[in-house]
Amino acid sequence: MNWNDGYVADLDYPAAYFAEQSPSHLNIACILNGVEPLPVDRPFTYFELGAGMGLTSNVLAASHPQGSFYSNDFNPAHVASARQLADEAQLANMTVLECSFADLAQGKADLPPLDYITMYGVYSWITPANRQCVVAFIKRYLKPGGVVYVNYNALPGWTRTLPLQQLLLEHASCNPVPRVRQLEQARDLAQELAKSGAAFFDGNKQLEHRMASLSGDKAGYLAHEYLNSGWEPLYHADVADELADAGLAFIGPADLSGAFEGDYLTVPQQELLAGIDDPRWRETMRDYLLNTSFREDVYIRGPRRMSAARQAAWLARLGVTLTSVADAVVAPEGANGADAPAMRQLLDALASGPKTFAGLASLTGSSLQAVARLAARLSAAGHAACYFLGSETADAAPARRLNRAIAAQSTLGDHYQALASPKLGGGLRSGLAQRLVYQCLAQAPAGAQPEAGDISKRVESLMLGHFASCAPDSPAAAALHAMRAALPRTVAAILAQRLPIWRSLRMM
């Protein structure tokens, strides 16, 4: 084996931001699942395993100046990118390590005991031996009460699509051509097979979105998703057993709405689960009910269950804000249509800015739990984010430095698609037009608010480099042309609707 242990290392993974990895978000998941969270209003330590280009860690470090953040990757190109972003934003609380999971398990890095360890797109993409290293690392460094976030491709949901990955991997291993070419050829082959009426594709609904992803997603993403030799979807019970070796217990899904089963299980399904006490078996049954193909879970080393009164006290320390512009929010569907009026009331209240759970409970005449449930559903639908009330006074300077660095980078490429908010303790995914408008506003003299028309012209000139970096007839070029044509309207909308959100979340 080479240094990369069969893991794709000749094509970079695209940068991405994942809110679920935020310490604040994980604490809120703990609270909603009735488990004592870690206090993040004081110094804490955080480690991201396999951080790729490091966008998530950098956004989290910038938006939690009270925390010390560490990340690792064994791919030097990823490490260099992550360090560069941290340096440009002068994030003194961010350390990027170039080392493998085996190095970490053996204690080769100089690290303090850790409060949080997270990994996105890692656990089911690496070899079993590397999974053992991850578990050994957690065992070695995670503090009692420490929180782990892990996600993985899961069974039984992958059962009917597993052979597609095998086809791509096998085809790639027989084709010693450059990686991008391997992917193109494997994709063409899968499409040809499907068109030829291959029985494997017959009536296999689950393959549809995987095939669509093969056509539409970036080569870097596809290579890391499908072409690792250790790739293996896992059952919850197996992961729970492996992590139990590090003293971890499963406490709930990282998706906030996952804490409210009534929103996604039918009554008979809830009754079926209600009779099961063993959490390992209960989750297994849930995965069969939902045919789960991807899990995002929170584990704790020594979880402490809270009383209802203690949970209510924590809920009273939370707030919620819209992250989509108010006009664009469609109330998410839930299993329980009776919620519609309460959801409408909540959305109307949030249209004028962030609100506390307690304020919303008195406004709507409902309990903190009921507000939490609706807020969780809005957050899972990508329209809102929950936050800790104390975070409003956190130092906003590091997040603003990172946002400026990301906005400046956006004039050269479209890699870093998020901006940081100290109020949220995390970031918001932000499109290219938004980041270029941010860049124009950040460059304007203090106190001046440039005219929308001037910003539109400036953004158009900042986009020119993007045209140069893609082939004239490519889908990327078509998307840029469409963006340029819509700029005056887009810029006006960003100034009218997005800028107030940035301001209320202390992002600029």
What residues numbered 333-392 form the site for ligand SAM, per CB under 6 A? Answer: none
Among 81, 93, 95, 100, binds ligand SAM (CB under 6 A): 100
Helix-, strand-, coil-residue percentages of the chain, each rounded to 5 = 50, 15, 35
What residues numbered 177-196 form the site for ligand SAM, per CB under 6 A? Answer: none
Comparison of 413 and 465: residue with beta carbon closer to ligand SAM = 413
Q: How far is the CB of 101 from ligand SAM (least distance, A)?
A: 4
Of the candidate spans 73-81, 290-298, 401-409, 414-422, the one that interacts with ligand SAM by CB under 6 A turns out to be: 73-81
Task: Name the H helices within 245-381.
Answer: 267-274, 279-290, 308-315, 340-350, 357-364, 368-380
Q: Applying CB under 6 A, what is the total number of residues that bind ligand SAM?
A: 21
Q: How far is the CB of 75 from ligand SAM (least distance, A)?
A: 4
- Contact call for residue 264 and ligand SAM (CB under 6 A): no
Comparison of 81 and 284: residue with beta carbon closer to ligand SAM = 81
Comparison of 134 and 251: residue with beta carbon closer to ligand SAM = 134
- For residues 133 and 40, give the distance between their C-alpha atoms in angstroms, rounded to a whole number: 28
Among 171, 224, 383, 498, binds ligand SAM (CB under 6 A): 224
Q: How far is the CB of 78 from ligand SAM (least distance, A)?
A: 5
How far does the chain reach from its first CA to its final CA, in angstroms? 47
- Contact call for residue 74 and ligand SAM (CB under 6 A): yes
Q: How far is the CB of 77 from ligand SAM (least distance, A)?
A: 9
Q: Is 24 exposed, middle or buried (0-12, 13-18, 19+ CB in 10 A)?
A: buried
Contact 431, 417 (CB under 8 A): yes
Of the candidate spans 5-13, 171-179, 238-246, 313-321, the one that interacts with ligand SAM by CB under 6 A turns out to be: 5-13
| DSSP 3-state of 430 | coil
- For residues 190 and 195, give the distance between their C-alpha atoms in angstroms, rounded to a whole number: 9
What residues numbered 128-187 form the site for ligand SAM, per CB under 6 A? Answer: 130
Contact 223, 178 (CB under 8 A): no
Q: Write the CB contacts of 261 (distance below 8 Å, at least 6 apart in sequence).
A: 270, 273
Q: How far is the CB of 43 from ligand SAM (least distance, A)?
A: 24
- Contact call for residue 295 and ligand SAM (CB under 6 A): no
Q: How far is the CB of 254 from ligand SAM (least distance, A)?
A: 14
- Which residue, chain included where needed, has tokens 């078509």? 478
> What is the secondary structure of 187-219 as a DSSP string?
HHHHHHHHHTT-GGGTT-HHHHHHHHHHHHS-H
Of the candidate spans 49-57, 83-91, 291-299, 361-369, the one that interacts with ligand SAM by CB under 6 A turns out to be: 49-57
Nearest Cα residue to 47 out of 13, 97, 107: 97
Q: Is 110 exposed, middle or buried (0-12, 13-18, 19+ CB in 10 A)?
A: exposed
- For residues 174 and 385, give the distance between their C-alpha atoms in angstroms, rounded to a whole number: 46
- For residues 161 and 201, give the distance between their C-alpha atoms in angstroms, rounded to a whole number: 9
- Contact call for residue 5 and ligand SAM (CB under 6 A): yes
Of the candidate spans 70-78, 296-304, 432-440, 488-496, the one that interacts with ligand SAM by CB under 6 A turns out to be: 70-78
Pairing of strands 426-429, 384-388: unpaired
Q: How far is the CB of 433 from ligand SAM (least distance, A)?
A: 23
Nearest Cα residue to 424 out of 379, 390, 391: 391
Among 11, 13, 171, 490, binds ligand SAM (CB under 6 A): 13
Of the candidate spans 118-126, 175-183, 340-348, 396-404, the one that interacts with ligand SAM by CB under 6 A turns out to be: 118-126
Of the candidate spans 47-55, 257-265, 362-370, 439-447, the one that interacts with ligand SAM by CB under 6 A turns out to be: 47-55
Q: Is 154 exposed, middle or buried (0-12, 13-18, 19+ CB in 10 A)?
A: buried
Of the candidate spans 44-52, 191-199, 275-283, 405-413, the one that interacts with ligand SAM by CB under 6 A turns out to be: 44-52
Contact 426, 19 (CB under 8 A): yes
Comparison of 93 and 130: residue with beta carbon closer to ligand SAM = 130
Comparison of 77 and 290: residue with beta carbon closer to ligand SAM = 77
- Contact call for residue 122 and ligand SAM (CB under 6 A): yes
Among 6, 65, 121, 145, binds ligand SAM (CB under 6 A): 121
Binding region for ligand SAM (CB under 6 A): 5, 7, 13, 16, 50-52, 72-75, 78, 100-101, 120-122, 125-126, 130, 224
